[in-house]
Structure 1
Amino acid sequence: MWTGPGTPTGGSYPPGSPVRPPRPTDRGGIRPGSGLIDRGNDRTGPLVEPDWWSSGSTDQPDHPHAGGRPDQHGFTRQHPSGPLPPMPMGIWDRLGQGGNGPDDDATVATPRLGGRSGDAAGEDLPGGSPASWEEQTGAFDVIGANVDEEAPRRRGLRRSRRAEPADDHPATVALPEQHPAAAHDEDFFPDEHEFLGEPAGPLTDDEIPVAPYDPRTDRARRRRRRRPFAMLLAFLVLGTIVAGIVLGGQKLLALLDPTSQDYTGSGTGSVDVRVNQGDTLSDIAQTLDDADVVASTGPFVSAAKDHPDATGIQPGVYTLRLQMSGESALDLLLDPASRQVSRVTLREGLTVVQVLARVAEDTGTPLEELQAAAANPAALGLPAYANGMLEGFLFPATYDFEPGDTAVDMLTAMVARAEQAFDGLGVPESDRLTWITKASIVQAEAAGAEDMAKVARVLENRLADGMPLQLDTTVNYANGKGGITTTAVDRANESPYNTYVHTGLPPGAISNPGEDALRAVLAPADGDWRFFVVVNPDNGDTRFAATKAEHDANVEIFRQWLRENPGE
């Protein structure tokens, strides 16, 4: 190899030489301005390559510079026109040849990078203090000398492949055998297994731990910090989208199906709504829709179908509110306080005169209007067998009268209720007037329901015998008075209702009997009684007798009570 300074001046370069020959020029291959002597006219012709040329080393015995032998002129340099000598031998030549050059010192075992005192490759030097690995590397510049030994291994580094079995010098520093660019490509970029999250293997001898700044780590940390806020934002956006879909769907449904529209809340203001007799839930819903109580019929009907009490909505006038939800409107219709009614309760045994007075008092209807209505029985639906007599056909019960109901409406409702009771007991219309008349007397004379069947038997026995009934209640009805006693003047009244003067039954009822009295007439008690008297009106004690003597004794007990109660 060439051992002198400068650049070879001619000839060919040996194979494998790191220096490339100069490009030929027009003047014999010498580049102008190179500082070399122009020997263009020295035509030596082609030279035969000597054997030592291909060796690439001055150790070849035939090499011109082997052993420092001079040439024929005493110089140790070949003629310029001869083949160029090889380049001087450097460190890599000596390492490649494995010879013992000037710098071929014995290999020194150096601790592995990052080794600790006591490791196999990092024993303490004699003297007790560990030697610095920089000192043990000799003249070599160790890659990564400026890296902290304690720095963690970079996560992105590719896991080193397992090395071949170690040679006899495991502690020798392993130098890379490949081009630096190849090492960069192979070892710097992360292995595909690293990206999949597999743990990195242990460090090997040819792997240098480094901890450079990794922007990806910082970006990941920022992403982790932003993740909760991003999730919260995503939930808010999703909730907004869902709410928009729901509201939009409701509006679209309302446009497609007008019957599904519904107000929200319990409404405002006040409005009166009438529910008529026989109205269905759909009829009631339509009435509410017409009055703007509900937005449409659908929500109310749906709510009513799910409520078991909805079918029991009573006819009447209800105080509701405007623009209510269907469910709220249903709740008010089921609330008794929402219904505008005037409730009238008629007890058993009241006369027509007494009934009209009670209705006028409880409903605020003028008495004159009620009396005028009673004077026209045909307008009230009175049956023909009643012979135009209203007494006995105003059935005792509780009635709810609504605002706007007239006197005729009220009395008509009572007559209809009486006919309903009569039909239920199955009495033929041809017998009903007599039956109602007897029941009215039983209702007026008996102190309690337990005595009604006995009173009915007394009437049947006396009528069967042809005896006058002689009942004070009929005399008082004829005289238009009340009480439990009569006077001689009262009993002298020629009214057909005076049973002291006339035998048999009066022409019609003397009161409005209840169902118990009606049933008692249909099934009188068994007995031979012809007489009865209430001996103590305070507790209703009634005595029945078959003979006149027994009856007179019972009458004396009653007179004693009268003496004890002079105001009666």
Structure 2
Amino acid sequence: MSSWTGPGIPTGGDYPPGSPARPPRHTDRGGVRPGSGLIDRGDETGPLVEPDWWAYGSTDHPDHPSGGRDGNGGFGRSHPSGPLPPMPTGVWDRLSGRPDAGEDDPTVATPRFGAVPGEPGEHDDEPTAATPRAWDEHTGALDVIGANVEEEAPRRRGRRRAARPAPADVPATEAMPAQPAARHDEEHLADEHEPVDGPEGPLTDDEIPVAPYDPRSDRSRRRRRRRPFAVLFALLVLGGIVAGIVFGGQKLLALLDPTSRDYEGAGTGEVDIRVNQGDTLSDIAQTLDDADVIASTGPFVSAAKDHPDATGIQPGVYTLRLQMSGESALELLLDPAARQVSRITLREGLSVTQVLNRLAEDTGTPLEELQRAAADPVALGLPAYADGKLEGFLFPATYDFEPGDTAVDMLAAMVARAEQAFDGLNVPEADRLVWITKASIVQAEAAGAEDMAKVARVLENRLSDGMPLQLDTTVNYANGKGGITTTAADRANPSPYNTYVHTGLPPGAISNPGEDALRAVLSPAEGDWRFFVVVNPDTGETRFARTGAEHQQNVLLFQQWLRENPEG
């Protein structure tokens, strides 16, 4: 409340800055305030009508009655108690609102921290006018540069679109007008770029809102461009790491365990490897390692243990390759084509002379070398009970002779095989020469294994009776010829092998008997036969007789066959 000291002159009071002087309030009791102490002079100072210039709001208005229009310095009054004139133009006038601004926007209440209870809070998906975002609390709900980054797509630098008007259905309280500070930043950015054309000409900075620059968009584009190369580079690095681990692991394992080293592949070149009789898998592996066929013994032995045929590797010379894997070397050793051998099969009943000729033909060994070797029984390992006679000790079987084997090696292998067979039949050494001699005759005379036991019985019966054996096979052996017949001259040979002239057994075997003949001598058939003859050499038919007359009938059958087969 203010006090009055004169008509229309205020001495105090709290008027809002920049507003016109407010007239004094009058009472309805004769214009004098009760208790004021003033004398009523009868002035008619009732309520006055506000003049039109009050609505101008400022003395800067062109129609304001200032500047001495009324001759009183612009402050003339038509009534002594009229309203006070406006205050002089000052700072407060310039801070007043713009004439075209209209009414101020309604104030929006912004919570300081968090959300108001009962209203959408910080856990809602989208912020609202009642739930400001994190930066609103510090900016007073002003527009913040970058606040719309997540809401608008990145724009090309230097190009800005005109601000879109707020939707009609959005309440006025939710629209936050752009502030001068934000506009200043936008004008500063716009100065660096060319003007943007709008539908009606170039747009001004105030008409082109600028989305703040988002460096994440450029980084994402560069990242997308680099992504294929980064993936390829990562794959190459990963492959190198894996290869390094594998290669390094192999090297480390080889250092820690030298026996685990192994070559890769089937190897190159050629090398001859000899597997000796009685070699174990470890012995063979060591031979291969020494010749650089395999890198170490471990892989070969491991592969051999897993292969069921590995224990059947035969002695001999094998053509292998250098620097093979352990598994490849094993497979080649099991291949018969890799073995360098001369395989010879000696049938039963061949004489020493016939065996030497066969060896020379099949192995390429000179016959003279073989004959010299046969004349050295000690070098061949011939037993003492043989009396230096090789006949009967070249056991009939199949032999594999390797490159480099000598004549002595070949003949010695046959003698060793014969001793192996003799030992298996458990014949005492003191009886072996007689036993082998009988078996050689049975082998030469019998046409088949089924007749050997009968022939053995005839020999036993004639020897027990003291009769000469009279065997053509012994006569032919003495004469160095073959066949099943003899002549008178042949039978006249005084050789101890001529059983027509000498009774009993010859001094040694006449052939190299097989196991069947040896067994037949040990177990002759039961019978009283004294004679036998092969009546049909083509079929091997043999007839046995107890008497000489019966035997002559069988001889006539044989002679008939000879006439039918003059070439014998």
Q: Which deviations, in whole Å up to 9, do the C-alpha atoms of 1:433-490 show, x marking residues without a partner?
A: 2221111111101111122122122222222333222211111112221110011222
- Correspondence for 1:299: 299
Structure-to-structure mapping, 1:124-523, within 5 angstroms: 159-161=126-128, 182-185=141-144, 188=147, 205=171, 206=174, 216-217=216-217, 219-220=219-220, 223-224=223-224, 226-523=226-523
- Correspondence for 1:67: 50
Aligned partners of 2:383 and 2:317: how far apart in 1?
29
- Correspondence for 2:84: 76
Aligned partners of 2:246 and 2:368: how far apart in 1?
62
Change (3 A) 1:186 1:222: closer
Aligned partners of 1:336 and 1:485: how far apart in 2?
44
* Secondary structure of the corresponding residue to residue 273 of structure 1: strand
Bigger CA drift: 300-309 or 484-493? 300-309
Bigger CA drift: 479-488 or 289-298? 289-298
Q: Tell me whether 1:50 sits opposite 2:17 in the alignment.
A: no
8 Å CA contact retained: 1:282, 1:301: yes
Change (3 A) 1:485 1:181: same
Structure-to-structure mapping, 1:2-81, within 5 angstroms: 49-50=12-13, 53=15, 62=24, 67-68=50-51, 76-77=84-85
Change (3 A) 1:94 1:365: closer
Aligned partners of 2:175 and 2:229: how far apart in 1?
41
Q: CA deviation at 1:72?
A: 5.4
Q: CA deviation at 1:518?
A: 1.2
Q: Which deviations, in whole Å up to 9, do the C-alpha atoms of 1:326-382 show, x marking residues without a partner?
A: 333333322222222222221100111111111122222222222222122122111
Q: CA deviation at 1:59?
A: 11
Change (3 A) 1:432 1:238: same
Aligned partners of 1:431 and 1:320: how far apart in 2?
47
* Secondary structure of the corresponding residue to residue 438 of structure 2: helix
8 Å CA contact retained: 1:59, 1:66: no
Change (3 A) 1:484 1:66: farther
* Secondary structure of the corresponding residue to residue 67 of structure 1: coil
TM-score (norm 2): 0.68
Q: CA deviation at 1:538?
A: 1.2
8 Å CA contact retained: 1:441, 1:473: yes
- Correspondence for 2:196: none
Aligned partners of 1:67 and 1:348: how far apart in 2?
160
One-letter amino acid of the counterpart of residue 323, structure 1: Q
Q: CA RMSD in A?
A: 4.0
8 Å CA contact retained: 2:21, 2:85: no
Q: Which deviations, in whole Å up to 9, do the C-alpha atoms of 1:377-412 show, x marking residues without a partner?
A: 122111222222211111001111122222221111
8 Å CA contact retained: 1:162, 1:204: no
Aligned partners of 2:137 and 2:325: how far apart in 1?
85
One-letter amino acid of the counterpart of residue 559, structure 1: Q
One-letter amino acid of the counterpart of residue 327, structure 1: E
Change (3 A) 1:207 1:319: farther
* Secondary structure of the corresponding residue to residue 314 of structure 1: coil
Aligned length: 440
Structure-to-structure mapping, 1:543-562, within 5 angstroms: 543-562=543-562
One-letter amino acid of the counterpart of residue 407, structure 1: A
Q: CA deviation at 1:515?
A: 1.0
Change (3 A) 1:63 1:499: farther
Q: CA deviation at 1:253?
A: 3.2
Q: CA deviation at 1:545?
A: 1.9
Aligned partners of 1:97 and 1:365: how far apart in 2?
127
Q: CA deviation at 1:314?
A: 1.7
Q: CA deviation at 1:57?
A: 6.9
Change (3 A) 1:54 1:79: closer
Structure 2 residue runs of 5 or longer lacking an equivalent are 1-9, 27-47, 55-76, 107-123, 152-166, 177-208
Identity of aligned residues (%): 74
Q: CA deviation at 1:235?
A: 1.3
Q: Which runs of 4+ in 1 moved over 6 A?
A: 54-61, 63-66, 84-87, 89-94, 177-180
* Secondary structure of the corresponding residue to residue 308 of structure 1: coil
Change (3 A) 1:87 1:497: closer
* Secondary structure of the corresponding residue to residue 271 of structure 2: strand
Change (3 A) 1:356 1:187: closer
Aligned partners of 1:91 and 1:319: how far apart in 2?
114
